[in-house]
Amino acid sequence: MTDTTTAATAAIERTLELAAPRARVWRAITDPDELSRWFPQRATWDLRPGGTGTFSWEGHGDFPVELVSVEEPGYLAWRWGMESDEVTLVEWWLDERADGGTTLRMRESGFTTAKHRDGNDEGWTEELAELVDLLA
């Protein structure tokens, strides 16, 4: 087997140390109204494994979403389509800290082109900064 992974198509990974409790962070990443405050401009989905939905951004259109795993309050995973029909997997892990805060780990994988990986890498930097602001 040949490993064709390159730096350009490697997964995007982020870790945030948040003062908010895990239940609050879970709500921010799963409730469509909360999601719309920091991530897409509009979010709809059926929050269950196999559930579907849409994330919408003005100027970028609608992105179909399929929930892969919903394990409240510690793990969430969804697949979503890109402009080129490329589909990636976005995973979230929420770990409760002793101080009452939350360590959030996010990973997006499955990129086949550097263009989409780079665009999402930049996008996650901006969007997660908005999440931090929301939870502050």
pLDDT tens sequence across 47-95: 999 999 999 999 888 999 999 999 999 999 999 985 556 889 999 999 9
What is the rounded distance in angstroms from the CA atom of residue 86 to the CA atom of residue 90? Answer: 13
CB 11 within 8 A of CB 31: no
Q: Which of 59, 18, 27, 68 is nearest to 40 (CA)?
A: 59
Position 84 scores a pLDDT of 58
Q: Does residue 51 lie in a domain region? A: yes
* Residue 1 pLDDT class (50, 70, 90 cuts): very low
Across all residues in the chain, what is the average pLDDT? 91
What is the rounded distance in angstroms from the CA atom of residue 92 to the CA atom of residue 28? Answer: 12
Q: Does residue 24 lie in a domain region? A: yes
CATH at 123: 3.30.530.20
pTM (2 decimals)? 0.90
Q: Is the pLDDT score of 15 beyond 80?
A: yes
Q: Which amino acid is residue 136, in one-letter code? A: A
- Which domain covers residue 24, as residue numbers? 19-73+85-135
Q: Which of 9, 37, 16 is nearest to 119 (CA)?
A: 9
